[in-house]
Structure 1
């Protein structure tokens, strides 16, 4: 809000505060999807020391990001007072912010690998869902991060965006890590 603007913002105006973040997030998702679709996949992009290959690194990093996303949901529920009579500790906000940052940082090399090495694929329903969820995750994440800095948002906005980001990250884990572990076994 700008100086001199009333503290009360009409509900219609409050929802429009998400318009710019939504447009930027949509642009992020579209650009990632288009790039992944037109880029010629190389097959190899990222490998992390300690793993036997890039797919193993990808599935374990996705699993760690998904676990941190669970921390995000539980800490958000605590901050919003949705865990019953549980009084959240003073450090819960910091836990929420840092677990989110760590989860996001884990997803960046995964996204680079997927975009550069594999591209946007549609060979099977699992792969199509994975490709769509990956591009949408970064779009929703962008909207949420830009929305955090907007005063006067409707009360439903951040929980909805956080829930959407969590759902997409779980879909990514389900269509990559869980599939990998059940198909090839647990390996590093």
Structure 2
């Protein structure tokens, strides 16, 4: 990759991107929120999904578009804007997606920010659940928020949205090359949950 805020392509999500291919059907509509350079979008697009990617970084979307081209994906829409605003607009327009993926940057850098971060995760998932017909993939990369707290926040959002969610598989975390030291729990920072949505 030739663009970098981090390494340009979040390698810690590699296995989760591969795993999502099992749940994508040709013709699905997929909304990839905070898509960055298109990691999840590409994996869905190669299956034959219609992909909508949203990100606040114009440069990241330029790279995402190039990644679509390199992978011979032509059924995609890339939207530049604030994730919350774009999702509200899509709800207002009556859009629905078979699968909604939420992979935002960390909402908290310090433990003092956790309360505000949980509020943001709740709202993001609430909006995502209003747009999803079948599946929600939701992630957090903040080591200040443990996986049970994150899951509880998603459950709270589902109750608020009046949508039933059922967890698919167990807890997903970073790929094995991002090792987790037993002496430093902060290294287990990535939480990724797959939910069926009714």
TM category (shorter chain) comes to: under 0.3
Instruction: Give TM-score, length-normalised by structure 1.
Output: 0.25
Instruction: Give TM-score, length-normalised by structure 2.
Output: 0.24
Question: Which is greater in Rg?
Answer: 1
Identify, as 1 or 2, the structure richer in strand: 2
User: Which structure ranks higher in relative contact order (CA pairs < 8 Å, sequence separation ≥ 6)?
Assistant: 1
